[in-house]
Chains A and B, each alone.
Chain A
Amino acid sequence: MGEQALKLWKDWRLHVIVLAIVALTESIGTFAIPVGPGTILLLPMLYAVVIGLALYFTPLVNDKQSINAEPLVFLSVSVLIAKFGVQAGPALPQIIEAGPALLLQEFGNLGTIFLALPLAVFLGLKRESIGMTHSIGREANLALITDKYGLSSPEGRGVMAMYIFGTVFGSIFIGLISGFLATVTPLHPISFAMATGVGSGSMAAASLGPLVAAFPEMSETLTAFSGVSNLISSVTGLYMSIFVGLPLTVKMYEILSKNKEKKEKAAKGGVDYVKKP
């Protein structure tokens, strides 16, 4: 935190706006929309992010507020992490018992490579897709790709696009799907709680919120598992990307794009294996 961050508490306009958003959204309360067999939960926090975003385009919020809000997200997330911690202590025996699942689910974060990378290649993206799909694309991954390929490389453009996407849309999207998936799939809420440690703090909040709201009787257990999962991700996440995620993405990309070229050539009139100049 630099010098400009030293006057955060003085930005009364920002704090009053956030207080007003909180008061308004909490009085609106939660709505549950049944979608087929599942439920999409609209929680106050979802309205809060949308209203906050909308206010940026009114004279109420200037760039100054928007810039100051960023470290405030971090500091308020730290309160959430503390809450995660104090829920995790009492659940420690359970957590140790579920240790293997908690550790191994980190590998599930590679799911993006198997789901999103083929799609990206199918849609015709080139090496951008490596930056886009190797991870959820938060700060640490942005740093990793920039370090390895440079920000102006195709990979760098890809991770930057995903960073922007996740920043603006990530918490909204994950907040909408988390409760829905937990109610519509046969997977246990605890499994989803372990999956909430996906990346950023606001995404963790947004994905855990609907779970707790949908399964209030399990709220303490869910929070504890979510907390430990976030803790593990915060420690191992980057190394996972460096040693597994990124190399795997590059390898998969090479295989997928080669297959695609072959298929396209075959479709163009059966001339496969034309030697490249």
Chain B
Amino acid sequence: MLKSLKEWVLVFIIIGAIMLTGNWIGYDVLPWNALPGIAILIGISLAGLIVHRLLPFQLPSIAYIGIIGLILTIPGMPGAEQIVMYTTEVNLLAIATPILAYAGVSIGRSWFDFVQLGWKTIVIGMFVLLGTFLGSAVIAEVILRFQGII
């Protein structure tokens, strides 16, 4: 646990630095302005990973991370406004770009398996993604309209 914790902290420092750089280049937020925000997000991630290790439930760690972030920022929670204010400085897209850069490097290994898939698999795959994505959006739309929210 302690070993993982040290590993996580070091990795998060690196990832955080990369995100701050992207946030600076792409979205013009100076790194020291976004530093508290990224530190908070990393703190929440760490807390979620630790809680995931400690609790016996079969929930994925990202569920804990999301729930912790949500609870901390419920209006009225002490410090919620500050957390929101600081983390707003970290642009969502600046977080997404490094994720997909790592993902790109990691999927290289699957490329040879990928090119061996037939054209039918590729076409069906696109329809699987399309069906899943569009299906959810359509149901959400119907219910939101029914409720008069949108």
Contacts and interface: CB of A to CB of B under 8 A. Distances in A.
Interface of A: 1, 5-9, 14-15, 17-19, 21-23, 25-27, 29, 43-46, 48-57, 61, 63, 65-67, 69-70, 72-73, 75-90, 92, 97-98, 100-102, 104-116, 119-120, 123-125, 129, 132-133, 135-137, 161-162, 164-171, 173-174, 177-178, 181, 187-188, 190-192, 194-199, 201-202, 205-209, 212-213, 219-220, 223, 227-231, 234-235
Contacts, number: 440
> Main secondary structure on chain B at its contact with chain A?
helix
B95 to A, nearest CB: 5
B10 interface: yes
Which of B73, B101, B137 has the most A CB atoms < 10 Å from its CB? B101
Nearest to B61: A78
B130 A202 contact: no
A69 B102 contact: yes
Contacts of B126: 173
A114 B131 contact: yes
Interface centre among B87, B99, B130, B147 (most CB of A within 10 A): B99
Interface of B: 3-4, 7-8, 10-19, 21-22, 25-27, 38, 40-42, 44-45, 48-49, 59-63, 65-75, 77, 80, 83-84, 87-88, 90, 92-111, 113-114, 117, 120-141, 143-144, 147, 149-150
B19 A79 contact: yes
Given A56-B105, A123-B123, A129-B124, A195 B62 contact: no
B124 to A, nearest CB: 5
Contacts of A76: 15, 19, 95, 98-99, 102
B134 A181 contact: yes
B18 A191 contact: no
A232 B71 CA distance: 15
Contacts of B117: 161, 164-165
B1 to A, nearest CB: 11
A191 B114 contact: no
A89 B74 contact: yes
